[in-house]
Structure 1
Amino acid sequence: MQKSPVRIVGIVNITSDSFSDGGKYLAPEAAIAQARRLVEEGAEIVDLGPASSNPDATPVSAEEEIRRLAPVLDALLADEIEISVDSYLPQTQAYALSRGIHWLNDIKGFPDPSLYPTLAESDAKLIVMYSIQQGQADRREAPEGDIVGHICRFFDERLSALEAAGVNRARIVLDPGMGFFLGSSPQTSFDVLARLGEIKGRFGLPLLVGVSRKSFLRAVTGRAPDEVGAATLAAELVAAMKGADFIRTHEAAPLKDALAVAAALKDFARNR
C-alpha cells in the first residue's frame, strides 16, 4: 500500500458526554481496546480526551481527568503507542508530561504562562489550537472580519509567548480549529478549510486538522454524528490536499485507505 505523508491521529474520548460517542469509551477497558483498534487500522498517534469540549457538557475536574487517564496511559504506554492527551487543564497537562506522553493537545492554545517552564523542560510536541471561545465557553459566533486573519494573529501571539519561555518552535503543531470552535456558521469552517495553505505558508509549521463528525459537516448534510462518515472523509481529503500534516479522526481505516489512493495518484502523476 502506498504510504501517505499525512499522519493519522485517532480520537478516543474517555467521556460520558462527547457529542459523537459519549459514554462508549468511558470504561478504561473500552478506551484501551478502542485505542488499540485505531492503531491497528492506521493511526500513528492516539489522542486521549478525558473531558468533552462540548459547551453543554458537564465540567470535569483535573482530578477526574487524571483518574480517567491513568489506567489507559498505563496500558497504552506499555504498548509503546504514541500518545497525545487532549486537555486544557494545567494540572492534567503536568500529570500527562510526568507520565512521558508524546503530545499535549490544548483547545485553548496553552494560555497559562505558569505552565510554560514545565512545557519548555519537556520533549512533548504541543498542538496549539485556535478557537473563537478563548475562555468564553458559550460564545457561538465568529468575530467580525477575516477569520484567517484572526487565527494568524492568535498564532503570532501564542508562538511568541511560548518561544520566549524557551519552547522550541520545532515542537509546535498548529490547529486552526473547526466546527463549533470557529462558530455556528458552517461557512466559517469551509473558509478555513479552503485556506489552510495560507496558514501553513505564513508560519512554516505543521498543521493538524480535525473535521471528524464536526457540526459544519452535519449542517450541510443533515446527518447525525454517526451518519456523517462519508462527509468526514471528503473533508479530511480536502484537508490533506490543502496541506494538513496530521488529521485527527474517529475512524482511521477509511482515512488510511483514502490517503493511500491519493498518494498513489500523486506518485503516478509525478512519474508519467
Structure 2
Amino acid sequence: MVHHLASSEVPWRRPRLVGIVNITADSFSDGGRFLAPTDALAHARRLLAAGADVVELGPAASHPGAEPVTADEEVRRLDLVLDQLVDAGIPVSVDSFQARTQQFAAARGAAFLNDIQGFPDPGRYAELAGTGCRLIVMHSVQRQGPATKVRTDPRTVLAALERFFDRRLAALQAAGIDSERLIIDPGLGYFLGATPEPSLAVLAELHAIRSRFGVPIMVSPSRKSFLRAITGRDLADIGPASLAAELYAASHSVDFIRTHDVAALRDALTVLTALDATRGASR
C-alpha cells in the first residue's frame, strides 16, 4: 500500500502544463466549440500564448454517455490540426486509445500518446517501442472507460493502482520502451468511481505514488466530476476548485498537469515560484 508522505517533506517543482483542445462534438466542458480545424488551431494558439508547454488534441470524448467515435473519424478530426502544430515545432499529445489513431499520430510527429486504457495490448508494444513517442499510461478502475457506477473504498483504489502500474510498466519496459518515455496518470473523477473519495485519496498520495514508480506523473483534475460533487458548483463555476486541486498536485511532485485553463494555472504557479524563491533567499 502507498504510504502517506507529509507535505512538509515534499520538494517544490514547477510542472509542465498540458493545454487541452477537445476536437469533439460532445466533450462535457466544451463539446463542439473546437470541432472545426480553424477553431481548434486558434484555441491551441491561445493555450500556447497563455503558457502551455504541450498541446493535447482529443478527437473523442471519454465522459459517460459520450457517443463512440470511429478511428477514421478521429483521424479526420486530427488531420489538419496535428500537422500544423507539429510543423510549427509545438509538442503535441494525442488523447486516444484506438490503435489506428495512435499510429497516425505517431507517424505525423506527435510527441506524446495518451491512452485512457493504459496501452492494454501487449501485441502492440514492439510497435510502440519503435515510435519514439512518450506514452502517458492512465489507470482506471474500469479498463474500458469511466467507472461511473463504481463506489469503491479509497484503499481498494490505491491497491489496484499499485498493482496496475507495477505490471503495466514492467511489461512496457520489457518490450523495449525506456522508462524515460513513460508517464503515469493515476486517473481522477469518473475513472476512479462515482464518489469523490477515491480521487481525493489519489491526490493525497501523489508524491508517494511518484516515488514508488520512479517515472514522471501527470494529473488532470481540471473540471472533474469529483470537484463538482465536493463543492456543489456547476461546471461553469468550477474554475477555482480546479485550480485548488491543480496547485495541490503541483506542490506534491507531479511533472505534468493537464488543464483547460492554462492561464490561471500559469499565473498561480508563477506566484508560488516567486514565494518559494523568496523563502529560500531569506533562510
TM-score by length of 1: 0.96
The residue correspondences of 1:1-272 to structure 2 (distance < 5 A) are: 5-135=14-144, 139-144=148-153, 145-272=155-282
Give unmatched runs, 5+ long, in structure 2: 1-12
Output the CA distance in 2 between the equivalents of 1:116 and 1:204: 20
Note the alpha carbon deviations across 1:203-224, whole angstroms, 9 max, x for none: 1111101000000111111222
Deviation at 1:157, TM superposition (A): 0.7
* Counterpart AA for 2:200: F
Secondary structure class of the residue paired with 1:185: coil
* Counterpart AA for 2:60: A
Output the CA distance in 2 between the equivalents of 1:263 and 1:152: 31
Output the CA distance in 2 between the equivalents of 1:135 and 1:101: 24
Deviation at 1:5, TM superposition (A): 2.5
Secondary structure class of the residue paired with 1:12: strand
Relative distance call for 1:138 and 1:214 in structure 2 (3 A) is: closer
- In the alignment of these two chains, the number of paired residues is 270
Output the CA distance in 1 between the equivalents of 2:252 and 2:136: 19
Give unmatched runs, 5+ long, in structure 1: none
Relative distance call for 1:54 and 1:187 in structure 2 (3 A) is: same
Output the CA distance in 2 between the equivalents of 1:218 and 1:31: 26
What RMSD, in angstroms, separates the aligned Cα atoms of the two structures?
1.5
Deviation at 1:143, TM superposition (A): 4.5
* Counterpart AA for 2:217: L
- Structure 1 contact 12–49 (Cα < 8 Å) conserved: yes
Comparing 105-114 with 140-149, greater Cα deviation is found at 140-149
Output the CA distance in 2 between the equivalents of 1:208 and 1:138: 19
Deviation at 1:135, TM superposition (A): 2.0
Relative distance call for 1:262 and 1:136 in structure 2 (3 A) is: closer
Deviation at 1:140, TM superposition (A): 2.4
Runs of 4 or more consecutive aligned structure 1 residues displaced over 4 Å after TM superposition: 136-139, 142-145
Deviation at 1:142, TM superposition (A): 4.9
Relative distance call for 1:255 and 1:269 in structure 2 (3 A) is: same
Relative distance call for 1:142 and 1:152 in structure 2 (3 A) is: farther
* Counterpart AA for 1:94: Q
Output the CA distance in 1 between the equivalents of 2:272 and 2:216: 19
